């Protein structure tokens, strides 16, 4: 699943996201790429997260909030029940897949996490948070070259991810120098 997810990320600039998010998210991502000051970048990121967390079915969005609170409270059983139901009833809700991937990651269920990140990125190819999560899993499994690639793609979408930039620099510093 790692290779297939890398392919999704590699083709993300050419793939179209869910039509539900395209218009509003396009403008926010352009603004995020153009924002020079960190406070404006943070506000723009907050707007992007708000869009990712919304869904036409208000009950589904409320359930996602409930699952998120359960994850924060470490009530993983409740979070999993909610998220299982959400992805079954609303398979086009990218953030439900992403949240379940985060739940699985917290439980060290890496293969299931990668599978759900793949679904999230198939629905929303510009989901830089899902990319960052995937990069973390790649790093944890010794796939540092893949992690560096994914971090680079995520930073092109959101250049204001300071910690991710540091991670990328550290990964690149670990690479052996090539002899010409």
pLDDT confidence tier of residue 177, bands split at 50, 70 and 90: low
User: Tell me: the pLDDT tens digits for 39-54?
Assistant: 789 899 999 999 999 9
The reported pLDDT for the residue numbered 70 is 98
Comparing 178 with 141, the larger pLDDT belongs to 141
Domain residue ranges of the chain, discontinuous segments joined by +: 2-174
DSSP assignment of the chain: -HHHHHHHHHTGGGS---HHHHHHHHHHHHHHHH--SHHHHHHHHHHHHHHHH--SSHHHHHHHHHHHHHHHTT-HHHHHHHHHHHHHH-TT-HHHHHHHHHHHHHTT-HHHHHHHHHHHHHH-TT-HHHHHHHHHHHHHTT-HHHHHHHHHHHHHH-TT-HHHHHHHHHHHHHSPPPP-
| Nearest residue to 32 via CA among 138, 116, 156 | 156
Answer whether 117's CB lies under 8 Å from 5's CB. Answer: yes
- Tokens standing for 74? 């470490």
CA distance 142 to 67: 30
User: Can you give the pLDDT at residue 26?
Assistant: 85
Is pTM beyond 0.85? Reply is yes
The answer to whether the beta carbons of residues 168 and 148 sit under 8 Å apart is yes
Q: Which fold has domain 2-174?
A: 1.25.40
Length of the chain: 180
Q: In angstroms, how far is CA 140 from the centroid of its own chain? A: 16
If pLDDT is split at 50, 70 and 90, which confidence band does 20 have?
low
pLDDT in tens, 88-135: 999 999 999 999 999 999 999 999 999 999 999 999 999 999 999 999
* pLDDT, tens digit (0-9, with 9 covering 90-100), for 53-70: 999 999 999 999 999 999
Please answer whether residues 145 and 169 qualify as being in contact, where contact means their C-beta atoms are separated by less than 8 angstroms.
no
């Amino acid at each position: 699943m790692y290779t297939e997810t890398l392919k999704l990320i590699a083709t993300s600039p050419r793939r179209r996201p869910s039509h539900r998010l395209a218009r509003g998210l396009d403008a926010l991502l352009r603004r995020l790429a153009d924002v020079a000051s960190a406070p404006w970048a943070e506000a723009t990121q907050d707007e992007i997260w708000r869009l990712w967390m919304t869904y036409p079915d208000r009950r589904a969005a409320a359930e996602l909030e409930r699952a998120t609170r359960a994850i924060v409270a470490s009530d993983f059983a409740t979070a999993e029940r909610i998220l299982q139901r959400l992805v079954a009833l609303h398979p086009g809700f990218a953030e439900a897949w992403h949240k379940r991937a985060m739940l699985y990651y917290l439980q060290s269920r890496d293969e299931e996490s990668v599978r759900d990140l793949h679904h999230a990125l198939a629905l929303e190819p510009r989901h830089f948070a899902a990319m960052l999560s995937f990069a973390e899993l790649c790093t944890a499994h010794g796939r540092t070259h893949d992690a560096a690639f994914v971090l680079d793609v995520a930073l092109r979408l959101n250049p204001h991810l300071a910690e991710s930039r540091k991670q990328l620099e550290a990964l690149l510093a670990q690479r052996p120098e090539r002899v010409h």
